[in-house]
Chain A
């Protein structure tokens, strides 16, 4: 009975996607974004606007292996949008194993991801946790020394824990329900992955052979083309509290909430197109019809429209660009380090740097498009900081590149925030 109820709940969650949540935004989908041609404003997939590329099955070494046989095939349904983007819908079972192996499976390399159904997590550990809800015994995770189950799932994704080795969960029942959600025509798709034509090689199973990709994205130009790469802007700031204090004095372990944002503007490609300019001339009369002009050598002629010259007219094409990888970090400024080691150490002998740098490797695909600008944000809450001083908030990463420009690496400081220490002074 309990099992039936859990499956029913899972089925309802997966089978009736009330709305599509793009990068957990509200309103759900920006009609001007690249998802606008995939789903409508009500969250329904616009199948009539998409070209069906069919179901793809491929062997993948990140899928589970049957002894003596090989890996079970990964299965996806693929569509192409009018603008040439490829949308990949992994079957439920395939999505689960993609989430367990985000790098190898190509999940992390998609340009954008779209969750189907309310509460569908896009972050990989959250996705695994959500899919295992009701199957995994929290006590089994606790027995491994995790007080927060989220940390366990993060470790699974980072390869520090093996989900398969975890006892205390009903793998058979989970796989069975997953398999039922993946059955042929009844397949339930809970996540859409979008790949731009330039990123086609990273599609799981390779670039679809029947996709019509732009063979020559660059039209012939009559002038030297100008490529103006879009600006990469990094901003970062502390959200709360007003004055964070070091962890040793922070009795409630409030820590600091920090947010980073990267904006990648589109790349502009300006090129010239030869446009014919027509003019009227008096050509030699060929004897048919009647002559209506006199040629320069005073003979009977006929007026005709011909190309008299070509003008070079400038056009600008726009190429949106996303992120290939990204890492956010907070690092104690050099001045603050010197202050701790040289000044603070006078009052607190042997003061040292406890944990002056924090790094947060994250999924670059969790960004979204605002118009043609790719916007990626990360918020980390309750960061426990042991060193007082000013922390530089930095984002490093690389863009995917466009058909007219190469991927660009970047490392930018987007802001700074202070962490305070309460000192007691005797007033004389």
Chain B
């Protein structure tokens, strides 16, 4: 004897939904067990996408290309080249303030390294992403690869550079110091401690 069981469409839909939800929960649980940092990365990416500046194309954005050109001049080093000449090459691609910084703060350090290691290298610079946009002043993250790094030096370095628009032209303002680039690091989840009096 055949008995017909009637199941409503609503019940079927509910059952399917329940299976999907359980599958997602179990799958998510297994994924998190395998890679506990996954959730942090997803949230960090989400926050970065929400808070970060709109990303122009690094290959065509004039500000990015100005940073690329200036960093290429800066990291193309030759111990036989007089330091004035190196400064001159860099300064045509920097703001007047940036040139002064190059001469006073940066040049002594560069000269010290170049002379001590007899550095002679070309470089390739690639703009990676815009990290700060204040209108006429922007900061870019770039990757500098030295053709002939000196002993102890990594061939590839990440560099943050600030560019400024003057009379319609983008010029390098300065290379950011390592100590000040922490604020551009991708945000990550951290434990929040609550202090009670």
Contacts and interface: CB of A to CB of B under 8 A. Distances in A.
Interface of A: 57, 59, 64-73, 75, 93, 162, 164-165, 167, 171-173, 175-176, 179-180, 182-183
A67 B178 contact: yes
Contacts of A172: 97-98, 101, 162, 164, 173-174
B109 A165 contact: no
Contacts of A64: 177-180
Contacts, number: 85
Contact of A164 (B108, B154, B177): B177
A164 B112 contact: no
Given A73-B108, A172-B162, A180 B177 contact: no
A165 B182 contact: yes
Contacts of B175: 66-67
B104 interface: yes
Interface string B60-84: 0000000000000001000000000
B159 interface: yes
A171 B173 CA distance: 11
Contacts of A66: 106, 109-110, 175, 177-178
Nearest to B173: A172
A173 B137 CA distance: 12
B105 interface: yes
B182 A164 contact: yes
Contacts of B182: 162, 164-165
B97 A173 contact: yes
B112 A65 contact: no
Given A72-B105, A164-B177, A179 B100 contact: yes
Contacts of B153: 68
Contact of B108 (A68, A72, A173): A72
Given A73-B109, A175-B174, A180 B180 contact: no
Contacts of A57: 108
B34 interface: no
A68 B113 CA distance: 10
Nearest to A59: B112
Given A70-B109, A93-B104, A175-B101, A65 B173 contact: no
A179 B103 CA distance: 9
B100 A176 contact: yes
B75 A68 contact: yes
A71 B109 contact: yes
Given A64-B180, A66-B110, A68-B157, 5 more contacts: A64-B178, A73-B108, A172-B162, A172-B164, A180-B100
A67 B105 contact: no
B33 interface: no
B106 A72 contact: yes
A93 B105 contact: yes
A183 B107 CA distance: 12
B113 A69 contact: yes
A237 B28 CA distance: 65
A173 B97 CA distance: 8
16 contacts: A66-B106, A66-B175, A67-B158, A67-B175, A67-B178, A68-B75, A69-B106, A72-B109, A73-B108, A75-B108, A162-B179, A162-B182, A167-B183, A172-B162, A179-B101, A180-B100
Nearest to B154: A68
A170 B97 CA distance: 12
A136 to B, nearest CB: 14
A59 B106 CA distance: 12
Nearest to A184: B104
A173 B154 CA distance: 31
A342 B192 CA distance: 38
A129 B174 CA distance: 23
Nearest to B95: A172
Contact of A182 (B104, B109, B159, B164): B104
B130 interface: no
Contacts of B159: 67-68
* 8 shortest interchain CB distances as A-B pairs: A164-B180, A64-B177, A68-B157, A179-B104, A65-B178, A176-B97, A72-B109, A165-B183
B51 to A, nearest CB: 12
Contacts of B98: 172
B171 to A, nearest CB: 12
B179 A180 contact: no
A180 B104 CA distance: 8
